Structure 1
Amino acid sequence: MTFGSFARNLSFLGAGFALLATSTPALPQDGNDEARLRRLEAEVRALQRKVFPGGDGRFFEPEISAQPSVRSTVSGSSTTAVTDILARLDALETQLQRQTAQNEENANTIRLLTERIDALEGGGAGNPEPVAVTTGGGEEAPGASRSLAAEISGPSDERLAAVQSIAKPQTDDPADDEYSYGYRLWNAGFYPEAQQQLTLFVEQNPGHWRTTYGRNLLGRAYLDDGKAKEAAPWFLKNYQEDKTGARAGDSLLYLAEAMIALDDSRRACIALAEFSETYPALAAGRLQGQYEASRAKVNCD
Structure 2
Amino acid sequence: MGNTTLRALAAPLALLAMAGGAAAPAFAQDANTEARLKKAEAEIRALQRKVFPGGDGKYFEPQISPAQPTGTTATGAPSTTAVTDILARLDAMESQIARLTSQTEENTNAIRQMGTRLAALEVTAGAAASADRPAAADANLSAMTGGASRPTPAPAASKPAPTPSPPAARPAGPTAERLAAVQAIAKPQTDDPGDDEYSYGFRLWDAGFFPEAQQQLSLFVEKYPRHSRISYGRNLLGRAYLDDGKAKEAAPWFLKNYQTDKQGARAPDSLLYLAETMMAMKDTKRACIALAEFAETYPAIASGRLRSQYEADRAKVKCN
Q: Select 1:230's aligned residue among 241, 249, 260.
A: 249
Letter aligned with residue 243 of structure 1: K
CA 228–165 in structure 1, closer or farther in 2 if over 3 Å, else same:
same
Q: 1:62–1:97: 8 Å Cα contact kept in structure 2?
A: no
Q: Select 1:217's aligned residue among 236, 248, 264.
A: 236
- 1:182-217 CA-partner distances (Å, limit 9, x unpaired): 000000010000000000000111111101000000
- 1:104-153 CA-partner distances (Å, limit 9, x unpaired): 8xx9xxxxxxxxxxxxxxxxxxxxxxxxxxxxxxxxxxxxxxxxxxx732
For 2:282 and 2:157, locate their aligned partners in 1 and report how far apart those are by CA, in whole Å.
23
Q: How does 1:139-218 map to 2 (within 5 A)?
A: 152-218=171-237
CA 210–93 in structure 1, closer or farther in 2 if over 3 Å, else same:
farther
For 1:252 and 1:100, locate their aligned partners in 2 and report how far apart those are by CA, in whole Å.
25
Runs of 4+ in 1 over 2 A off after TM superposition: 60-65, 67-72, 96-101
The aligned residue for residue 313 of structure 2 is 294
CA radius of gyration, larger in: 2
Aligned-partner SS, 1:208: coil
CA RMSD of aligned residues (A): 3.3
Q: 1:62–1:100: 8 Å Cα contact kept in structure 2?
A: no
CA 100–217 in structure 1, closer or farther in 2 if over 3 Å, else same:
closer
- 1:45-92 CA-partner distances (Å, limit 9, x unpaired): xxxxxxxxxxxxxxx9599442534376xxxx9xxx99xxx9xx77x5
CA 194–99 in structure 1, closer or farther in 2 if over 3 Å, else same:
closer
TM-score (norm 1): 0.55
**Structure 1 residue 236, shift from structure 2 partner:** 0.2
Which fold has the larger relative contact order, with Cα–Cα distance below 8 Å and residues 6 or more apart in sequence?
1
CA 98–221 in structure 1, closer or farther in 2 if over 3 Å, else same:
closer
The aligned residue for residue 9 of structure 2 is none
For 1:186 and 1:251, locate their aligned partners in 2 and report how far apart those are by CA, in whole Å.
16
For 2:192 and 2:256, locate their aligned partners in 1 and report how far apart those are by CA, in whole Å.
25
Q: Select 1:256's aligned residue among 275, 278, 282.
A: 275
The aligned residue for residue 41 of structure 1 is none
CA 287–230 in structure 1, closer or farther in 2 if over 3 Å, else same:
same
For 1:286 and 1:181, locate their aligned partners in 2 and report how far apart those are by CA, in whole Å.
25
Q: How does 1:1-301 map to 2 (within 5 A)?
A: 61=124, 64-65=127-128, 66-67=130-131, 68=133, 69-70=136-137, 92=156, 96-97=159-160, 152-301=171-320
Q: Unpaired segments of 5 or more residues in structure 1?
A: 1-59, 108-150
Q: 1:62–1:98: 8 Å Cα contact kept in structure 2?
A: no
Q: Unpaired segments of 5 or more residues in structure 2?
A: 1-122
The aligned residue for residue 25 of structure 2 is none
Letter aligned with residue 284 of structure 1: S
